[in-house]
Amino acid sequence: DDREVWQVANPGLGISVSIDYLENEAAKALRSEPKRAAFCRLHLNRRTATVSRWVDLEVYDRAAAHAVPTWAQHRSRPAYGGLDLSNSLDLSATAWLVPRWIPDPTDPDFEIEGLDVVLRCWAPAGRLKARPPKERELFARWIRDGYLKATPGDVIDYDRIEDELFADADHLEVERLSFDRWGSKMLEQHLRDGGLTMLPVGQGFAGISPAMKETERLIYEGRLRTGGNPLLRYAFENLA
């Protein structure tokens, strides 16, 4: 945001590139890590990594650090879920989004709608030793602190996940549960037979891009509250 630097790096400033355009791009770069990397590379003549993190973790942490209500306080609230299943080494996860009114970070006299995130994650206990040393340490800590549940055996236990999802549905007022169509047919049918409204979501650009843009907007507006869940933060940290 230093105009003297802009002039040094852009000798044609005001001629081949307009000041209004650069101001607009700089404003975007201050809000988005990928756009910041592009701005530094294209307009400040700086080398940058070829891969950039999707979300600025400083911005993410400001919103995520806010405490969310306890599980008991979420009872009977409307909730929207997303389910992603794995076979063996990867995590299986469900994220429940629970809307509620929160103070507006820009004006404490007003409230805005925020989303509390309740994350459920599972991994097969028999495959934990196959992970790199750093991840083994992280996984052990998350299991100990209750952020990750280890299911017995070398493959994920879908029955355990099914039981816990029905328990969550008894606690929350589930509006719908969205799911990745790959590898979830039997569990999806069980959940549907149990009374849950199931919605398939494609994992390609058309299915994911609009949701990612909305998620990014919620994070930068301080409306996505995760209660500081370290596993979810690790996922955002690795999303490029």
Q: pLDDT tier at 87 (50, 70, 90 boundaries)?
A: confident
Q: What percent of the chain has pLDDT over 90?
A: 45
Tokens of 66: 């806010």
The pLDDT value recorded for residue 51 is: 64
pLDDT digits (tens, 9 = 90+) for 150-169: 998 888 889 999 999 999 99
pLDDT at 22 over 70: yes
pLDDT at 49 over 70: no
- Residue with the bigger pLDDT between 176 and 29: it is 176
The pLDDT value recorded for residue 154 is: 87
The pLDDT value recorded for residue 233 is: 93
- State mean pLDDT over 20-29: 91
pTM greater than the 0.85 cutoff: no
The pLDDT value recorded for residue 160 is: 92
pLDDT at 232 over 90: yes
The pLDDT value recorded for residue 143 is: 96
pLDDT digits (tens, 9 = 90+) for 204-221: 888 889 999 999 999 988
pLDDT at 191 over 90: yes
Average pLDDT, the chain: 88
SS (HEC) of the chain:
CCHHHHHHHCCCECCCECHHHHHHHHHHHHHCHHHHHHHHHHHCCCCCCCCCCCCCHHHHHHHHCCCCCCCHHHCCCEEEEEEECCCCCCCEEEEEEEEEEEEECCEEEEEEEEEEEEEEEEEEHHHHHHCCHHHHHHHHHHHHHCCCEEECCCCCCHHHHHHHHHHHHHHCEEEEEEEECCCCHHHHHHHHHCCCCEEEECCCHHHHHHHHHHHHHHHHCCCEECCCCHHHHHHHHCCC
Q: pLDDT tier at 63 (50, 70, 90 boundaries)?
A: confident
